[in-house]
Structure 1
Amino acid sequence: MENQLSFSTDLRGKIALVTGGTKGIGKAIADQLAQAGAQVIVTARNRPADSDSTHSFIAVDLTQADQVTQLAQQVQDTYGRIDILIDNVGGLTTPGGGFQALSDQDWEQELQFNLLATIRLDRALLPLMQNQKSGVVIHISTGAAKQPLWNLNLAYSVSKAALNCYSKALANEVASQGIRVVAVSPGAVKTPLMEQFLEDFARNEGIPLEDAFTTVMGKMSGVPLGRMAEPEEIASLVRFLASPAASYITGVNYSIDGGAYPIA
């Protein structure tokens, strides 16, 4: 008898964990997964100021191996399973200026935050998915991994490019166990971190804030849609990819950048 496939985007009964889920893209993803019916756990280093959040919260620093182990144990003890893992935590934490401006500490910091934190958490939680023979892992990457700007985000771009390679390899490894792994690469998104980046860039370059976006986007061949994405636009793609409707999608990296990437 053939397997009965579901093409629904309904996530009722699913347990989802979103790292960096208290603001920006992570919060938008957590909210949309919950709207689809999932029970959502969010993690961050600090408890969110939004006390009205309906999501469960676990404080954790994913760069610390012992805290990741504790997180995985807490998820197992409390929920007994994990169906959707959104590795969203990451960001640009190092200065621009090219390779000579970056110290060993800068490189290590960026790799810890944007690559090793994800690998560490996957290693801790994927055994639950392997036991249940199902699950979805989505890594939030960046378009900068394909279009690095040497004078703005070199270490960040390199760390996320490594994440893309890891995502493909992991997808191939666990596909036969019923687990899908997908990467999503946003372009410029209107988040507090991006707004702060543009403010810093404008100040350092001595240009008006309204010119900063145009200048930065121009370095990436521009954005045909002419604007930054809203976090909810990224979240809507993630919501679909996490659902049964995307059951035959794995090992793929989706660009969602308003057309900024210059090749097909």
Structure 2
Amino acid sequence: MENSTYLLDMSKEFAGKRALVTGGTRGIGKAIVQRLHAGGAEVIAAARSLPEALPEGVGFIQADVSLQEGVDHMIQETIRMFGGLDILINNAGGSSTSTAGALAITDEDWQTTFNVNLFSSVRLDRGFLPYKVRQQSGVIVHISSIQRKLPGNMTMPYSAAKAALVNYSKNIATQFGPMGIRINAVAPGFTETESAERLIERMAEQAGTDYLAARQQLMDELGGIPLGRPNPRRLPSLPSVLETQASVCCSIC
């Protein structure tokens, strides 16, 4: 009986809320979309490419958040579909730079990585915050990374961008917190996603080793997996993050 009551409550915890999740068709973003939808929220998943499948009732916007025009399109479509927004999850991110070391990383690599991992959040916040200010309510969550504190040797631009995202989150939370808007950053540890798998494959190719050895190298750089469960579905309670009143950076391993 207790379990039935819990499931009933869980299906209503986000009822009446409108949510947008960038990078919402794979990995952590997909898990967040499923969790919000299961909790009763109206949800839009956004990504560059069309998903194979989404939960019934979940909307989709195809856009590239690394580009200003992609951000503009996402904002316009979200407002057209929802009329406003309660929850913004800035989850889009990743690293595609060379794993050959600092001298092999070009200016274009740095700019591309910052566009995806930092400026996409800055631009989306700037577009949606006026609506949240008028509502005097709303939540923004920035998905950072454990690499903000433990920078990976093979992912310098990504680590720097995620560290900048956390500091940006703290600054903007201070400004908009008094207006009833909660802004937090969440920093997952190593998580078994398609993006992580592609990074490991590049590391293995660069080092001339196999996938498992490269995976272990990356995990060692990031402090290992204390619980041994690097799965997107194992992320801590989403409601606890959304309900946190002050700006924080939740370290998740």
TM-score using structure 1 length: 0.86
- Equivalent position to 1:131, from 119, 130, 134: 134
Q: Do the aligned residues in 1 keep the contact of 2:34 with 2:55 (CA within 8 Å)?
A: no
Out of 23, 29, 32, the position equivalent to 1:20 is: 23
Residue in 1 that maps onto 2:209? 207
Q: How does 1:1-264 map to 2 (within 5 A)?
A: 10-50=13-53, 53-150=56-153, 152-225=154-227, 227-234=228-235, 236-242=236-242, 246=243, 248-257=244-253
CA distance in structure 1 between the aligned counterparts of 2:94 and 2:168, rounded to whole angstroms: 17
DSSP 3-state at the match of 1:43: strand
Question: What is the rounded CA distance, in whole Å, between the counterparts of 1:193 and 1:37 in structure 2?
Answer: 28
Change (3 A) 1:231 1:51: closer
CA contact (8 A) 1:32 1:239 kept: no
Name stretches of at least 5 consecutive residues in structure 1 with no aligned partner.
1-7, 258-264
For residue 172 of structure 1, report the CA deviation from its aligned partner.
0.5
Q: How many residues align?
A: 243
Identity %: 37
Secondary structure of 1:184 counterpart: strand
Cα distance in 2 for partners of 1:99, 1:195 equals: 21
Which runs of no fewer than 5 residues in structure 2 stay unpaired? 1-8
* CA shift in 2, pair 1:83/1:199, >3 Å: same
Find the aligned partners of 2:198 and 2:67 in 1 and give their Cα distance: 26
2:200 partner SS: helix
Distance across 2 between alignment mates of 1:114 and 1:175? 23
Q: Deviation of residue 201 (structure 1)?
A: 2.0
Where relative contact order (Cα < 8 A, 6+ residues apart) is larger, the structure is 1
Compute the displacement of 1:26 (Å).
0.5
The CA deviation at 1:75 is 2.0
Deviation at 1:60, TM superposition (A): 1.1
Contact 1:29 1:239 (C-alpha < 8 Å) held by counterparts? no
